[in-house]
Structure 1
Amino acid sequence: MDRVKVLFVDDETMVLNSIKRSVLDEDYSALFAVSGEKALEIMESEEISVLVTDMKMPNMNGLELLKKVKEISPDTIRIVLSGYTQLPQVLATVNSAGIFKFITKPWNDDEEFLPAIREALEYYNLKKESDQLKEKIEKKNIMYQNMLNYSNDILKNIKVDVNNIKTINRLIFNLQKNLLNKIKNNQIDINLVDYYVDLINSIYFDFLDTIPSKNEKFNLEQLAKSLKIDIISDSQVKFDKSDFEYEGNYSLIITITKTLLKELLNHCNENDFEIIIDKFDPLNISINFDKENFHEVLAKSLELKLIIMILNELSNTFGAKFSINIKDKLICLNTNLRSETNKN
């Protein structure tokens, strides 16, 4: 561990030599300067714990030096060693420069001079330890506050997830109840019941896989790449401005869109539609059909209607919804996500 440093300043060489002899056996490193300017040069490269300076010096006097040291190194303990004995002068110096001790010349080494420096060093060390402890406490307080905020965010998110699961559970229950009623009334082919139940459960469990929900940052290129994996070809996805960045429930957006695409491929060829990801705010994912019988595809497919209804409910959990435009042959997932670029 480096020894603490005490800087002595006096324009009289004889005084400095006397101090050197006095502090020879002390447990600190003693540095010496013959002027205020030299003292400031030393302080640029050294951490000075205690400064002991004469008051009456040419060019820069002791008071000027003390004021500068208070400004550039406020933790340095300042002691005056001077022949000034008039009370007004002493008080002026103490008040303007924050003096720890005022020692008059001539002094007694063992009774006054050395004890004063030791006391100053002890005060410096105590203050430094206090500041370090305070800094540690402040850092811990920040850490604990961050942990508390994080825990509160988790609890808030869990509450939202629980409410969303309850909402989706009600939907699934009602769908299954409706299927049961249709079976009782012979309104549905019983051979298709297992298929519909499996379809509903598959979507439901895919939704549960996105729990716990979390917001993620993503750009359009990342979104397009995720949609292309194992489902559609590169040519089917169109997007612009890949540097546009959004933040939202990315995993659920992907789950919802992929589920819809997989079902569409059961009723259409791959080349019958394309995905258009709009960079406009809010973010929209549109499925644009080339098929002339787009209306018939939607009207005849009970599975597709069922899936869109369930997905629309899932989308509502993060403020999105599906819209179907028969005239323009579009199925569109309208999100409420605005780009980070426009937010800034």
Structure 2
Amino acid sequence: MKQNKVLFVDDEFNVLNAIKRAIIEESYKPFFAVSAAEALEIMEEQDISVVVTDMRMPVMDGLSLLKIIKEKYPRTVRVVLSGFTQLSQMLVTINQGEIFKFITKPWITEEDFLPVIRQAIEYYNLQMEKDNLSKSLEQRNLAYQKILRAMEQKQAQEKEGLHNLHEINEWIFSYWRKNIRLVIDESTEKLTALDEFIDVVEETYLTYLSQLSTAVDVRTTSNLINNIAKNCNTRLFINNAANSEFTTKGKHEYLLMMFRILVHHIPEQYKRISCELLHKSLAAETLELDFYIDLQRYQLSVSEKHKLKISCALLNKIGNFDKMTASLEYTGDKLNGIRVTWEVGTPSFK
């Protein structure tokens, strides 16, 4: 605990000198003022625990000083040291200055003076300890509330994820039944298409399950671009066309999953795949990210295009819950590229 500071105020130098002799062995740090104005200057510069003041002083008396101290420094303990003991004045002082104790002049050092100062310091320390405990409890309460909100948010996200999973399962099995009916004649071409479909569904579905439950987080543009490249084994090179840095808030892991699945179905011999990133503001605290994966110079087989088509259909169903889309873009039969969009929030940092 830091050292307590006590301020003694009296316009008589002989009184202050007597106080200096009386407190020479005390543990607190003393300050002395010969006027109320000087006392207030010291109060501005020092963290005073106790102020002991005379009542009768020129210009500003002790009562006026105590009223100012009470208003500006309510935790400072106030003690009156005075030879003026008229009852009416004492009552005014008590009522308006909230005095802890009175010490009358002349005093007996060991019986009247030192014990009162020590009690005042102890009272001040108890007040500060109470304040610190209150602040500590308040901070702990805020921390517990924050933890509780985080747990509630996570629970809500998990519940949402399970609900989304239920809808995705319904869609997958419906799509599956539809494709099975198409190959009921067991033609080789249709069986191959079904095998490809099952492979893509299994891969996408298991990758999606591995992401549950994805939490909402905040990332910068450069961080997001680096994360996508890393998730695609550094095969995808994203150019931030606007060359601007912004921050997004959302389920970024789902976006990384979409890129990982799509790039996986582009033949491995293509080591450097170009992607352009554009963005535009939709509304307050909302952006649309537009990623365009350029495939014009690549020769993809019918099977690879089919897998990308199935992947986009599945990813659109998954991404629909978080306003993410993936679509193939053609010129006639020529596949030009893949466009991935995401309507994402931006944190306000208030």
TM-score by length of 1: 0.80
Residue 333 of structure 1: aligned partner: 340
1:241 and 2:254 aligned: no
How many aligned residue pairs are there?
A: 338
Alignment of 1:26-37 (within 5 A): 28-37=28-37
Task: Please tell me the residue identity of whatever aligns with 2:217.
Answer: E
Question: Is the alpha carbon distance of 1:243 and 1:156 closer, same or farther for their aligned partners in structure 2, counting shifts above 3 Å?
Answer: same
Distance 1:49 1:223 in 2: 54
- Structure 1 residues 332 and 81 mapped into 2: Cα distance closer, same or farther (>3 Å)? same
| Unmatched runs of 5 consecutive residues or more in structure 1 | none
Distance 1:265 1:6, change over 3 A: same
2: CA distance, partners of 1:327 / 1:88? 100
Unpaired segments of 5 or more residues in structure 2? 282-287
Q: Which amino acid in structure 2 is aligned with residue 92 of structure 1?
A: V
Match of 1:165 in 2: 165
1:36-87 C-alpha deviation (Å, 9 max, x unpaired): 3443454455433211110222344323432443344321101112233344
SS of the residue corresponding to residue 131 of structure 2 reads helix
Residue pairs, 1:6-45, within 5 angstroms: 6-23=6-23, 28-44=28-44
Q: CA deviation at 1:136?
A: 1.3
1:305-316, aligned counterparts within 5 Å?
Answer: 305-316=309-320
SS in 2 for 1:240: coil
1:206 corresponds to = 207
Partner SS, residue 265 of structure 2: helix
Question: For the structure 1 residues 91 and 257, does the alpha-carbon distance in structure 2 shift closer, same or farther, using more than 3 Å as the test?
Answer: same
What are the equivalent positions in structure 2 for 1:95-106 lying under 5 Å apart?
95-106=95-106
In the alignment, residue 316 of structure 1 is paired with which amino acid?
N
Moved more, 74-83 or 18-27: 18-27
Hey, which bits of structure 1, 4+ residues long, moved more than 6 A? 268-271
Partner SS state of residue 214, structure 1: coil
Deviation at 1:152, TM superposition (A): 1.0
Amino acid at match of 1:134: S
Given that 2:309 and 2:328 are in contact with CA atoms closer than 8 Å, whether structure 1 keeps it comes out as no
For residue 201 of structure 1, report the CA deviation from its aligned partner: 1.1
Indicate if the aligned counterparts of 2:10 and 2:35 stay in contact, CA closer than 8 A. Answer: yes
Letter paired with 1:129: E
| Equivalent pair of 1:7/1:50 in contact (CA under 8 Å) | yes
Measure the CA separation in 2 of the matches of 1:307 and 1:178.
17
Aligned counterpart, 1:280: 280
Q: Which amino acid aligns with 1:304?
A: L
Which residue of the partner structure matches residue 84 of structure 2?
84
- Work out whether 1:186 is the aligned partner of 2:191: no
Deviation at 1:138, TM superposition (A): 0.9
Which residue is 1:217 aligned to? 218
| Residue in 2 that maps onto 1:320 | 324
Q: Deviations over 1:282-328 (max 9, x none)?
A: 2222345648x99x979x94333322211111111312234556569
Could you give the per-residue CA deviations for residues 161-207 of structure 1, whole angstroms, max 9, x where no partner exists? 22222223333333444444444332554355444322221111222
> Does the 8 A contact of 1:286 with 1:330 survive in 2?
yes
**Superposition deviation, residue 330 in structure 1:** 6.2
1:197 aligns with 2:205: no
State how far apart, in whole Å, the 2-side matches of 1:331 and 1:297 are.
16
Percent identity, aligned pairs only?
A: 33
Deviation of residue 135 (structure 1)? 1.3
Matched residue SS, 2:214: coil
Question: What TM-score does the superposition give when structure 2 sets the normalisation length?
Answer: 0.78
What is the CA-CA distance between 1:148 and the residue it aligns to?
0.9
Tell me by how many angstroms 1:265 deviates.
4.6
Query: Of Structure 1 and Structure 2, which has the larger fraction of its residues in strand?
Result: 2
Q: Which amino acid aligns with 1:17?
A: N
Note the aligned Cα RMSD (angstroms): 3.8
> Residues 134, 189 of structure 1: CA spacing in aligned structure 2 closer, same or farther, 3 A cutoff?
same
Say which SS state the counterpart of residue 6 (structure 1) adopts.
strand
Aligned-partner SS, 1:209:
helix
Residue 145 of structure 1 and its aligned partner are, at CA, apart by 0.9
